[in-house]
Amino acid sequence: MRNRRKKFGSVLSNIYSYLVYLFLYLPIFVVLLFSFNTSKRNIVFEGFTFEWYLRLPDNDSLLNAYGNTLFVGCISTVIATVIGTLASYGMSKYKFKGKGIIDILLYIPVVIPEIVLGISLLAIFNLSNVPMGLTSLIIAHATFSIPFVVFTVNARLAGFDRSVEEAAMDLGAGRLKTFFTVTLPIIMPGVISGAFLAFTLSVDDIIISFFTTGPGSNTFPLKVMELTKTGVTPDVYALTTIVFIVTVAVTFLSQRDKKKPVKG
């Protein structure tokens, strides 16, 4: 009787797991499927074609929007990673007045609604006469990405042994050399994780980009949101499918490299 209950529970657990995966990946499968749809309206699947992939290079507005997304994402990620890493390192190493307040303030961009942050950035840009375009987008994306980098690097610094730095400085290394040759390589996994998180947030952002964008700086998420009013065309699905395949391939290759045995 106990074995039957255990087997029944295992079956229910497997069914539940399959349903969760189906819920998560079915929308992605639909996007991949409809990228091959012969119908331009893309309401029902009428037939199989590669036409939209062949016509994708001719869609300048869509490609420019995605190019802006990658450009803003890369630049804002570099800025957020550098500032976030230095801020995290400084706050973890030194004690100063107001440190607790700064720790609390770092949580505000994370917990407040994005629409509030977007309106706030828009007001600041208007008061500062910052031109609305790629510049404002980069500043905005770097602003809301910095706290995420700080928190990620903080997690890595939590178990950091300061005696390693002291040993390096005792051997004659200066502060900068110690940081770049000893500290940074040790915390690099946290820095890379924070950079990837910042890039993902930037590429995926809609609300803050909506308030801080300008003429000629449309991003891919904003372009897709604009197309939802008239209907998303299959070439958008085609570009999304290409991005998805590249992302999966990079993830698969990175995980396979981690599983390779170390020779020695």
- Smallest CA-to-CA distance from 31 within 205, 197, 244 is with 244
Distances in whole angstroms, Cα of residue 130 to Cα of each of 76, 119, 139, 222, 262: 16, 14, 10, 21, 51
* Neighbouring C-beta atoms of residue 42, cutoff 10 Å: 18
pLDDT at 264: 45
Specify burial of residue 212 (Cβ count, 10 A radius: 0-12, 13-18, 19+).
buried
- Which of 97-101, 110-114, 236-240 has the lowest average pLDDT? 97-101
Cβ contacts of 99 within 8 Å, gap of 6 or more: 91
pLDDT at 2: 66
Over residues 114-136, the pLDDT tens digits come to 899 899 999 999 998 888 889 99
* Residue 173: pLDDT over 70: yes
Fold that domain 57-235 belongs to in CATH: MetI-like fold (1.10.3720)
Distances in whole angstroms, Cα of residue 200 to Cα of each of 5, 96, 221, 257: 43, 33, 12, 22
pLDDT at 233: 80
* Residue 217: pLDDT over 50: yes
Q: At 257, is the pLDDT very low, low, confident or very high (cuts 50, 70, 90)? A: low
Q: At 4, is the pLDDT very low, low, confident or very high (cuts 50, 70, 90)? A: confident
What are the residue ranges spanned by the domains of the chain? 2-51, 57-235
pLDDT at 136: 92
| Overall average pLDDT of the 207-230 stretch | 86
| Overall average pLDDT of the 146-170 stretch | 85
| Overall average pLDDT of the 203-213 stretch | 90
* Residue 137: pLDDT over 90: yes
64/216 Cα distance (integer angstroms): 9
The alpha carbon torsion through 211, 212, 218, 224 (nearest 10 deg) reads -30
Q: At 72, is the pLDDT very low, low, confident or very high (cuts 50, 70, 90)? A: very high
The alpha carbon torsion through 232, 235, 238, 242 (nearest 10 deg) reads -110
